[in-house]
Homo-oligomer: A and B are copies of this chain.
Amino acid sequence: MVTMSEVARAAGVSVMTVSNVLNGRSNVGADTRLRVLEVVEELGYEINLTARRLRSGRTGTIGLIVPQFDLHYYGELASRISEALAPEGMHLVVEQSGASRERELSALSLARLQQYDGVLLSAVGLDMADLERIHPDVPIVLLGEQAVPDRYHRVRMGNVVGSRLATEHLIRCGAHRIAVLGGKLSAPHPEMATCRAQGWSQALEQAGLPHDPGLVIPLTTYSIAEARAAVATAIDGGLEVDGMFAVTDEVAIGALAGLHDAGLRVPDDVQLAGFDNLGISEHLVPGLTTIDPGHPVMVAEALRLLRRQLEDREAGPEHVVGDVSLIVRGTTRARDTSSPAPG
């Protein structure tokens, strides 16, 4: 492997001059710079990022830690972030934590964090106490809904508002008994499932509709397969609904299949709404009515918070909540085109 000192020797200059050239520093003469660049080209030299990092601390790499690569939401998130970083010359590497507390902790170990200039963490397994204990010396931005200590920078969606919007829409479209798929009524700390169930229950309450625990279909992995089975089981078990709010689009896809399994038609027998507005949701048959969480804005905000910390390690923590909007498609009946949509 070619090193900087070999380049230096071949160009007849010092190692430091090569370093100066490659880092675009101004204290090099034009002819020297040219000669160094020629030699670099000729020998096929490339910088050793490991050595640079050890000495300078900078890596040009941002880490993104997600629970599962194969949940579509995270794939889309990773893709968006990667594209947003590319023009800045930084690049993104993504790790999967498997949604387990141990592996999230391991991903957050100093050893692993050191590898990055900054980290975006989409945590689901860690609790408040874990996060309280950790004092990373790398800029971190948390993405997601779980409760976190104040000192963390954080971006999250308007979960309660969005869920209420979705549920209100189901109600306006004529649904009276609306289940929440993947909802959770209580938990030690707020998380995605509780926030979204909260919006659901607010909407029902306001409309004077029932929101009894029997309407909550709990999930644990939020996979399509789990959601499908849970819906089919619930219907088989006698659950009667004419509307369903799925806490994510991923589980809404499972719900579509599960309702079909149970012989129910969407939207004729049961209307359905999701949350996340995945890329695929538009292309389901029928198209999925859902909540758009404003992905581009959330990504931009997350990166802004990260950059702010990179520039100023003492930057005070910010807490950003994204704007949500309702996207109406075929899984709900177009009953209320006359009345203006709120939000």
Contacts and interface: CB of A to CB of B under 8 A. Distances in A.
B114 A48 contact: yes
Nearest to A253: B283
A140 to B, nearest CB: 16
A70 B278 CA distance: 10
Give the oligomeric copy count: 2
A76 B72 CA distance: 9
Interface in A93-110: 93-96, 98, 103, 109-110
A1 B113 CA distance: 12
A38 B283 CA distance: 57
A298 interface: no
A228 B281 CA distance: 13
Interface string A6-23: 000000000000000000
Interface in A273-290: 279-280, 282-285
B46 A111 contact: yes
A143 to B, nearest CB: 15
A98 B86 contact: yes
Nearest to A250: B280
A247 B112 CA distance: 39
Contact of A283 (B70, B74, B224): B224
A256 interface: yes
A217 B190 CA distance: 48
A236 B1 CA distance: 58
Nearest to A330: B260
Contacts of A46: 109-111
Q: Is the interface of A mostly helix, strand, loop or mixed?
A: helix
A83 interface: yes
Nearest to A85: B96
Contact of A69 (B79, B223, B224, B228): B79
Given A86-B98, A110-B46, A137-B1, A228 B283 contact: yes
Interface string A47-80: 1111101100000000100001111101110110
A144 to B, nearest CB: 18
B283 A257 contact: yes
A178 interface: no
Nearest to A76: B70
Interface in A292-311: none
B283 A114 contact: no
Contacts of A284: 257, 284
A75 B82 CA distance: 14
A39 B260 CA distance: 60
A227 to B, nearest CB: 9
A225 interface: yes
10 contacts: A49-B112, A49-B115, A70-B79, A72-B72, A83-B98, A91-B95, A92-B95, A225-B282, A225-B283, A280-B280
Given A49-B115, A82-B98, A92-B95, 7 more contacts: A46-B111, A54-B54, A69-B78, A92-B96, A93-B95, A224-B279, A284-B284
